[in-house]
Each structure stands twice: as structure tokens, then as C-alpha cells.
Amino acid sequence: MVPRSLKIGLSARLLHNPPKELGFRNKTLQYLEQSIAHWIMAHGALVMMIPTISSNAEVSRRGISVRSYVRELDGLVLQGGADVSPRSYGKEPMRADWAGDIVRDRYEMELIHEFMAQGKPVLGICRGAQLLNVAFGGTLYQDIPTLRPEAIPHVDAELYDRLQHDVTFEPESRLAALYPGQDGGRVNSIHHQAVDRLGGDLVVDARSSADGIVEAIRWRGSGYAMGLQWHPEFHAADGELLDSSPIMLDFLETAARMRDAPE
């Protein structure tokens, strides 16, 4: 029997107030960015975007739950996107435009906890890494230039994913094991928030070589949860950037192993 393809859940980006030209007045859009779906699919897995399920939604009354969704999937990837709300880690926004999306925070944290409760791996990208830290009780720098003024630029509106810097792997880390013979690599940088206080049972796997800003985190428990501050799904077109395949293959191999483990 040919084993079935892995089914990977992808958290949705939320657009609460779509531009009028899209034709969805007073509606909320849930969507994915093409590159991250293709990065997963290029390694042989199927991608299923997971819609939000709110307490007052029609689907709730039909008995669909987050637990039901997670039961049908083999792993979770958290996309990048809007800021994590400081209120999600007990702080007030320092500026109104740093208030983030608390609706998405709650939705994705519920997904994180349920996937991990069911023994399935979680991979967080950019915002997803930050939210993973918050879900484990950590905090964030609301804005790197404000709170870490000595840091190098980590976001540039004009350069976007062409802004790059080097990261250094922590010795004995999972990333160091995935890239034998390398002490780090070059990555893109599209974030103004970053990990401040590390969440419980998390360890740092990589830091920005120039300023020490946390670039990768990992849960040290018996399951699998990893967060990457850069966007590995954007690396394929640039041969000078860190090869993103070892990360996705490691995630998918873990998902397959957990799926096929005897109950």
C-alpha cells in the first residue's frame, strides 16, 4: 500500500477590512501567501488552510471544532503577517499601529496547543515564531529600533525580502545538526518585532550574528515545535541564502514519524 501524503495545516492570514476594490464590503478574508504553500508542497505534502472557528460562527453550531480539524491533519505551519498583539503577552501597545491582531493571536494559539496536545509538529515562520514564544509564556520586543537601538535593521519597507543578514546557530542546536559543517547562514529579514523574554521550555537555536537578536527558537520537550524569524519559503530564488529544504524535510519527517507511530 502506498502511504498517503502528509496533510499539513496552514494557519490563515486575516484581512478584517478588505479594500473596496476587492468587492467584500464588511467581510473578513482568510488567505494564504503562495510561496509558503508551494514550499511545503514542493517537498511532497498536501497543504490545507485552516479557517478560524469563532464562538458565534455558524460552523460552531454544526459541531465543527479545532480538535476535529487537528485530528485530520499531520502538522501545522504558522504563516507570517500582522504583528502579534502586546495584549497577548500582558502588555499595552506602545503605539496604536503596534496593536497587532489579537483575533488571529487567539486563533493560532488555540491551534498550537491542540496540535501539540495531539502530538503533532508545529513550525512557526516570522510572526509564527513570535507567537510560538508568546504561547509558551514569553514576551516580545514591540519594536526593535525603539527597544534595541543598537541592533542592525531587521526590516526595510523598500527592500522587503531583499534585506538580508547572517545568523549563527547555537552549538548542539537542532539547526546545527541539520546543517553539518556550517555555523550559520545568510537569511532574509522582514520583522520589526522579536523575541524578548524566552517562553518556558524553549531554547534559542539561532541568533542574528551582528546584534544577538533571537532568530530561531525550539521547544525542548518530547514533541516538535520550532520557530524561525526569517522566511525560508522566500529563499529558493537566491542561492546565496540558507538552503530551506533541510528545515522542511525535518518537519515533514517528524510529522510522518508521529503519524505512523503505534498508538
| Residues catalogued as catalytic | 126, 231, 233
Which cell goes with 28? 473578513
Give, for 14, the enclosing helix (H) or strand (E): strand 13-15
Q: Go through 20-46 and write b for each residue having 16 or more CB atoms within 10 A of its CB, e for each that does not.
A: eeeeeeeeeeeebbebbbebbeebebe
CA 58, 83, 224: angle at the middle one, nearest 5?
80
* Helix, strand, coil content of the chain in percent (nearest 5): 30, 20, 45
Q: What is the DSSP string of 153-164?
A: P---TTTGGG-E
Adjacent-strand bridge partners of 8? 47, 75
Distance CA 112, CA 193 (A): 20
Which cell goes with 162? 531583499
Q: What is the DSSP string of 191-204?
A: -S-EE-SPPTTEEE
